């Protein structure tokens, strides 16, 4: 662990996670993949959790040659007991896995609503629950919850997603208050629209719901409120996660780190 005195000079100590274990959910693609590679590059032994076995195998290959390692762990997070067990012994937990369905509330299938809440809110609760005993035992731990602008703002047709992300914000803040005396921080990272499969999948759904052609969805719907008119790259999100795991972020807890291109400045 970096001593506070080491932070006082002009030379920032690099993120060093050698000897640390990090669990990243939803690691087979998009933001999770970028986080797993970033943490492995900092030396962590990354437990990469996803239900997509093929994506995890690809990721493990991409991690070859990094300072740390990536170990694939195939798991469907709706198996909440298994999720809690998988988190035991981890030093860094990145709750990232997610899914989206764009549909008006009156048409929204209740079983999909339940699944979204299970994967994006209940599983993070169980993973934190599984990780905390080890973190508390050693007096150090980092919980990073990949929330969204939709953890702080709503959009029409995303009832389950917005509800889950708002819930995740509350869970993250509660974990921050409980974890502080034990050296455990908990924060959210809140991106705007990121260049991933999840956004690709939304373009068609949003076009249907808004009744406009697919090519107009990006500029007129997704980026309408973003002052910076581009998608965020997964690597930019992963760098924010790395910062929250680093020595300069020990005082930062219970907060939400926005990468939203100015969306919430409105």
Catalytic residue IDs: 161
For residues 237 and 35, the answer to whether their CB atoms sit within 8 Å is: yes
Applying CB under 6 A, the span of 6-14, 91-99, 212-220, 239-247 interacting with ligand NAD comes to 91-99
Other beta carbons within 10 angstroms of residue 184's beta carbon come to 24
Q: Is 122 in the site for ligand NAD (CB under 6 A)?
A: no
Distance, CA of 58 to CA of 167 (rounded, Å): 32
Stretch that binds ligand NAD, among 85-93, 94-102, 133-141, 172-180 (CB under 6 A): 94-102
Distance in Å, CB of 200 to ligand NAD, minimum = 9
| Contacting residue, 35, 48, 77, 152, with ligand NAD by CB under 6 A | 77
Q: Which is nearer to ligand NAD, 200 or 215 (CB)?
A: 200
Residue 169 in the binding site for ligand NAD (CB under 6 A) = no
CB atoms under 10 Å from CB of 213, counted, come to: 9
Interface residue with ligand NAD among 98, 167, 179, 246 (CB under 6 A) is 98
Rounding to the nearest 10 degrees, give the CA dihedral for residues 144, 149, 153, 154: -100
Rounded-to-integer distance, Cα 38 and Cα 45, Å: 11
Task: Return the residue of 199, 217, 241, 244 that touches ligand NAD, per CB under 6 A.
Answer: 199
Site string for ligand NAD, 7-26 (x = CB under 6 A): -------------------x
Of residues 21, 22, 29, 152, which one binds ligand NAD by CB under 6 A? 29
CA dihedral 104, 200, 258, 165 (to 10 degrees): 40
43 or 96, CB closer to ligand NAD?
A: 96
Instruction: Choose one: 35-43, 73-81, 84-92, 129-137; the region binding ligand NAD (CB under 6 A).
Output: 73-81
Q: Which of 59, 41, 39 is nearest to 49 (CA)?
A: 59
> Using the rule CB under 6 A, is 172 a contact of ligand NAD?
no
Check: CB of residue 5 under 8 Å from CB of residue 11. no
**What beta strand segments (E) does the chain contain?**
21-25, 45-50, 69-74, 92-95, 141-146, 184-191, 256-259
Q: How many residues comprise the chain?
A: 266
| Residues 202-261, interacting with ligand NAD (CB under 6 A) | none
Decide: 192 and 260 in contact? Cβ < 8 Å.
Answer: yes
Judged by the rule CB under 6 A, the positions of this chain that interact with ligand NAD are 26, 28-32, 50-52, 55, 76-78, 96-99, 119, 146, 148, 191, 193-194, 196-199
């Amino acid at each position: 662990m970096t001593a506070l005195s080491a932070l006082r000079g002009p030379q920032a100590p690099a993120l060093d996670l050698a000897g640390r274990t990090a669990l990243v959910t939803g690691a087979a693609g998009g933001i999770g993949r970028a986080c797993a590679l970033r943490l492995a590059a900092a030396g962590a032994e990354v437990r990469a959790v996803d239900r997509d076995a093929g994506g995890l195998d690809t990721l493990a290959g991409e991690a070859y040659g990094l300072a740390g390692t990536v170990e694939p762990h195939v798991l469907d997070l709706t198996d909440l007991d298994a999720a809690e067990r998988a988190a035991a012994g981890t030093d860094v937990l990145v709750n990232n896995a997610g899914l989206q369905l764009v549909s008006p509330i009156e048409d929204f299938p209740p079983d999909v609503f339940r699944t979204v809440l299970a994967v994006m809110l209940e599983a993070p609760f169980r993973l934190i629950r599984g990780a905390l005993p080890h973190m508390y035992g050693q007096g150090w731990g980092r919980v990073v919850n990949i929330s969204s602008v939709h953890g702080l703002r709503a959009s029409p047709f995303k009832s389950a997603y917005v509800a889950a992300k708002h819930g995740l914000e509350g869970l993250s803040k509660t974990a921050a208050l409980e974890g502080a005396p034990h050296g455990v921080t908990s924060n959210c990272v809140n991106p705007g629209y990121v260049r991933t499969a999840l956004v690709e999948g939304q373009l068609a759904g949003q076009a249907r719901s808004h009744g406009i052609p697919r090519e107009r969805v990006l500029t007129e719907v997704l980026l309408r409120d973003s002052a910076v008119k581009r998608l965020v790259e997964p690597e930019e999100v992963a760098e924010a996660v790395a910062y929250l795991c680093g020595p300069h972020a020990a005082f930062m807890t219970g907060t939400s780190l926005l990468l939203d291109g100015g969306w919430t400045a409105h």
